[in-house]
């Protein structure tokens, strides 16, 4: 039973007003909040998310230790957020290094979207079966 928990994914999409200005930093914060990773008060999570994106742009992964020093936060805070990001399917871990799930953020979001589509197909199939059972 505990083993299944490890692979459980939770994806939350929040509808939040997009930034008015073409501001890279505001768009990162908006993306962070839309993905249900935190809100405008979650500065630590937003900093960690930003550093992950920077590492990805440099075509490398990032360790929890590096995040701890770059963001000037505790190891526990970093690990908490990394686990959250992994549960959403945003990150993968190879050894001690964390990477975006795909080559870039857009492709990572496409893979998460595909995960959702597959899950909804299953939900709809079971929903149809339930509906037919009530007839």
pLDDT in tens, 26-65: 999 999 999 999 888 889 999 999 999 999 999 999 999 9
Q: According to the model, what pLDDT value does residue 7 have?
A: 58
Q: Give the predicted TM-score (pTM) of the model.
A: 0.84
Q: Is 10 in contact with 88 (CB distance < 8 Å)? A: yes
CATH class of residue range 2-133: mainly alpha
> Where is pLDDT greater, at 89 or 8?
89
pLDDT digits (tens, 9 = 90+) for 80-118: 999 999 999 999 999 999 999 999 999 999 999 999 999
Compute how many other C-beta atoms are within 10 angstroms of the C-beta atom of residue 46: 22
CA 17, chain centre distance (Å): 19
Confidence label for 135 from pLDDT (cuts 50, 70 and 90):
low
The conformation of residue 21, written as its DSSP 8-state character, comes to S
pLDDT at 9 over 70: yes
Domain extents for the chain? 2-133
The yes-or-no verdict on residue 130 having pLDDT over 70 is yes
105: closest CA among 34, 40, 41, 1? 34
The pLDDT value given to residue 71: 96
Smallest Cα–Cα separation from 25: which of 59, 56, 67, 53?
A: 53
Average pLDDT over residues 13-24: 87
State the Cα angle at 31 between 25 and 32, rounded to 5°: 90
pLDDT at 40: 84
């Amino acid at each position: 039973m505990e083993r299944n928990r490890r692979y459980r994914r939770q994806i939350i999409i929040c509808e939040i007003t997009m930034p008015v200005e073409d501001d890279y930093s505001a768009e990162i914060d908006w993306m962070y909040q839309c993905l249900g990773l935190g809100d405008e008060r979650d500065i630590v999570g937003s900093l960690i998310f930003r550093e992950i994106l920077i590492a990805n742009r440099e075509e490398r992964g990032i360790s929890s230790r590096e995040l701890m020093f770059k963001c000037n936060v505790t190891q526990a805070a970093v690990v908490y957020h990394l686990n959250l990001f992994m549960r959403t399917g945003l990150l993968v871990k190879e050894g001690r290094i964390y990477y975006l799930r795909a080559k870039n953020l857009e492709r990572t979001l496409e893979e998460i979207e595909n995960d959702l589509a597959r899950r909804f197909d299953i939900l709809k199939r079971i929903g149809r079966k339930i509906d037919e059972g009530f007839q």
